[in-house]
Structure 1
């Protein structure tokens, strides 16, 4: 048992990041209190992309990029959690070019490796690898692609620059991985994700670089298992606590305010914020990132038969940017430049979207969706839901995004955990686990020094 004077850890936010970190720290012997405004140990990956957590709607793809297999290894430490929580997923990117046939690039062994390997000569591959690596250190104002001026708005004729397959791939990846248009996405932000280390150039993944998570197993088995381990290790859970403000001195956070409740934080204690960008920036305005999250618009079509293998298509398309086929859902992320109605009349576009989805899946995955879906008489598409929501990741301006790896909390005993912070990972489960691992090491170093 920890003594009264022993350092204590306060973790605010009990989604996947906060719950995972709190559980591991409690098992490490640290006194941990976990706070959440809703029900702790509940993730934002939910059945059919329902709204979660409360007050912050999200649309989380069930297929994500995880070339290092972090998520599967993390959950494997608890044998009670079924291995089928995380399954390998097949992924391709489909590219179009005027006057040429569509290009299909297999991404199963890593994005950077695929982009480099498709170059025809050794010199072209070296040049592509160098450009990908150099983009990690691009200037703060450099975008993945330039915004195209609209001739109709200017009243003049313009020639649209012709993009290459490689440029189209980077623009598609920026929008899919970071939920923002390529002309808003920092080249350094994308570059650090595509080429995290020099070894990535020669890396060949034995397993798939993309993986699929099962939200039902995650919320019904995995997170309750973690909760049991957290409580067994002596952790405390306080629900219904919404963080309002943090009082501080110059160097340390001293008090946490939850409505009328005030929690004292001693200098030897540590505080971790694992929150959505908006409440995070409300509590700590000096954090250095904008509170406005990126935006996601998604159609979710229902399938009548489960997919044998999770698969996804990243598409250089004017309507659809990504199609995720997993379990009995077909999740379709829309192109950010497409104007969709916000008044609930998206059903008018459902037939057009569904036709494009069936074409892309047939062309890029050789997948016939008509065999796995049921369309009622008189309808032109399967049953679906439309999700127009905020993503749990801030749409960082290029100047901020290029310095994401340098963002530091304003106080020594405050730590930030979530998929907005690991600079070498796109938002998603892999970034969450990477952040948990990093913050766990930082906390042990801090608490060890304070306990001397």
Structure 2
């Protein structure tokens, strides 16, 4: 069994979280080694890049909740990364309630405030506010319900039946923001995103609470910039090195065992950071004692002839389409998780159905004529498309497990956990990831003090 010299900090997992933390610690003067089963500083976290490896341009913007500006604040320290990496969330949501018109809600203003202000009368607004706050403090076992889910395809004249716009908003956000079926998402988790604190609600001037990451800039510019900084600071990279197991005493991790028969013997003052997806994390450290159940997301990417000037997105409470992302020369569509895909026999017919729905939604909400932007060819009726079916980064654990996040502790004193699964009060996503990076950075500084 081969052996190589250990450093002071060993970061296992070279995704965005592990790469960001390793770079920060190396620039702080620590000796850092970064391990990954593939190549560190490659974008596997961003949904579009992760799910559409065959087409680097078919990457959807990642819309996320970040009222504190954690993601933008992190990349602000790297002037070589364009500021347009973090964009305002150019997004609207089509919602219905009874016979009222569709609500167009800007994510920049915060969804809960928009929902409240849209109600007519003080009593109605007070009732909506109370309902939102009740969900914030609801049990983690309480699931989001859907009024729009359908087990069969509806005819076009029945596809847009009205529903309660408040509940539909929760359903759509659960599926789009967390890449999970709504019934698996707890109301408390979603309400932490939807409901601002009382102080925020009483502000006269509200800061945008939703932003979007440009996945192309992240993959092509930001991550290579991190890699260059990491190497310049003296960091070491061990690629194609998959963690197999960790040996330990009752108090400390003692050995890192990799599947290529290599081993790292840890010194007493060495620290290990696991920046892994929960599944390999639990395989390596069974003492953590959680059983993650990552969601799967299904989406389609359509190739557009005429590019979009700026990224735009539509979140729609629809029986087929949940979200449409217009980015560069692609239209990426997140599909309703309740679609009976096993019943679909003809992929082209299904693509045509999705495309027709996208045309209608974009015309209604975004004032976009998609037909003028495509070159169908061969009279297909829809542009070239690509099906994408992949595991979501990390939405939420199985029902009831979300409450265990605050009790999740590494079993050894020199082991630390980094990733968007671990911040207690943060919704999973980029902001939670960089919140975790900041927390672990402070924990390591205290460990080495």
For Structure 1 versus Structure 2, the TM-score category normalised by the shorter chain is 0.7 to 0.9
1:156 maps to what in 2? none
2:168 maps to what in 1? 168
Distance 1:318 1:420, change over 3 A: same
1:27 maps to what in 2? 27
Distance 2:401 2:381 in 1: 44
Tell me the alpha carbon deviations over residues 347-406 of structure 1, each in whole angstroms, 9 at most, x when there is no partner: 330010011111111111222222333222411111111011111215422311134333
Distance 2:126 2:98 in 1: 26
Distance 1:53 1:264 in 2: 35
Distance 1:344 1:62, change over 3 A: farther
Secondary structure of 2:443's match?
Answer: helix
Moved more, 237-246 or 344-353: 344-353
Matches within 5 A, 1:306-325: 306-325=307-326
1:125 maps to what in 2? 125
Moved more, 244-253 or 111-120: 111-120
Runs (5+) with no aligned partner, structure 1: 1-5, 153-161
2:360 maps to what in 1? 359
Please say if residues 361 and 367 of structure 1, whose CA atoms lie closer than 8 Å, have aligned partners that are also in contact. Answer: yes
Distance 1:98 1:446, change over 3 A: same
Matches within 5 A, 1:186-205: 186-195=186-195, 197-202=197-202
Please say if residues 271 and 415 of structure 2, whose CA atoms lie closer than 8 Å, have aligned partners that are also in contact. Answer: yes
1:138 maps to what in 2? 138
The count of corresponding residues between Structure 1 and Structure 2 is 431
1:250 maps to what in 2? 250
Secondary structure of 2:108's match?
Answer: coil
Distance 1:346 1:285 in 2: 41
Runs (5+) with no aligned partner, structure 2: 1-5, 153-161
Distance 1:440 1:363 in 2: 47
Distance 2:205 2:387 in 1: 35
Please say if residues 29 and 233 of structure 2, whose CA atoms lie closer than 8 Å, have aligned partners that are also in contact. Answer: yes
Distance 1:274 1:132 in 2: 33
Please say if residues 47 and 60 of structure 2, whose CA atoms lie closer than 8 Å, have aligned partners that are also in contact. Answer: no
Secondary structure of 1:378's match?
Answer: coil
1:386 maps to what in 2? 387
Moved more, 184-193 or 420-429: 420-429
Please say if residues 303 and 383 of structure 2, whose CA atoms lie closer than 8 Å, have aligned partners that are also in contact. Answer: yes
Q: TM-score when scaled to structure 2?
A: 0.86
Please say if residues 16 and 45 of structure 2, whose CA atoms lie closer than 8 Å, have aligned partners that are also in contact. Answer: no
Moved more, 94-103 or 242-251: 94-103
Matches within 5 A, 1:337-376: 337-341=338-342, 345-376=346-377
Please say if residues 423 and 436 of structure 2, whose CA atoms lie closer than 8 Å, have aligned partners that are also in contact. Answer: yes
Q: Is the aligned partner of 1:36 residue 2:36?
A: yes
Secondary structure of 1:317's match?
Answer: coil
1:181 maps to what in 2? 181
Matches within 5 A, 1:433-444: 433-444=434-445
Give the deviation of 1:12 after TM superposition: 0.6
2:102 maps to what in 1? 102
Secondary structure of 2:410's match?
Answer: coil
Distance 2:343 2:25 in 1: 43
RMSD: 3.1
2:295 maps to what in 1? 294
Please say if residues 15 and 45 of structure 2, whose CA atoms lie closer than 8 Å, have aligned partners that are also in contact. Answer: no
Distance 1:168 1:150, change over 3 A: closer
1:62 maps to what in 2? 61
Please say if residues 43 and 52 of structure 1, whose CA atoms lie closer than 8 Å, have aligned partners that are also in contact. Answer: no
